[in-house]
Amino acid sequence: MSRTIGLMFAAVLAAAPAFAHHGAGVFEPEKKVTVSGTVTDFQFVNPHVLVYLTVKGSDGKDVQWGGELTSPNRLARDERAVKWHKEIIKPGDSITMTGHPARNGAPMMDILKIVDAQGTVLIDDE
């Protein structure tokens, strides 16, 4: 029981807002957007892990999306359901990612959740 509570607490901690450098207000915390596409770049680097993918827009045109996560050190620590590593996502992978969208309409997000082509939930801070 206490372990369950501990894990729940760990999940809450993990879901704490990322220490983004641009400050609050850049993303819309009340909104969520989900996009699916093909990964073009994955940067497992400090201070923020970055994911870029090409998404087919409703008008048929490709849109380049970008998303940010917390630091690689945090993602690689044992307390996550899926322990991240530098090859967890590769260019060419098909993924679906959900996050808080940029307030100014840029195709960028503060990532909350990523599901890979096999349906594996790589991260879920929703």
d(CA 42, CA 32): 21
CB of 119 to other proteins, least distance (A): 28
Specify the residue, 13 or 117, whose C-beta has the smaller distance to other proteins.
13
d(CA 79, CA 21): 24
71-97 burial string, b = 16+ CB within 10 Å, else e?
A: bbebbeeeebeeebeeebbeeebebbb
Binding footprint of other proteins on the chain (CB under 8 A): 13, 16-17, 19, 21-26, 43, 45-48, 50, 57, 59, 61, 63, 66, 68, 71, 73, 76-79, 102, 104-108
CB of 25 to other proteins, least distance (A): 8
Specify the residue, 63 or 124, whose C-beta has the smaller distance to other proteins.
63
Specify the residue, 25 or 119, whose C-beta has the smaller distance to other proteins.
25
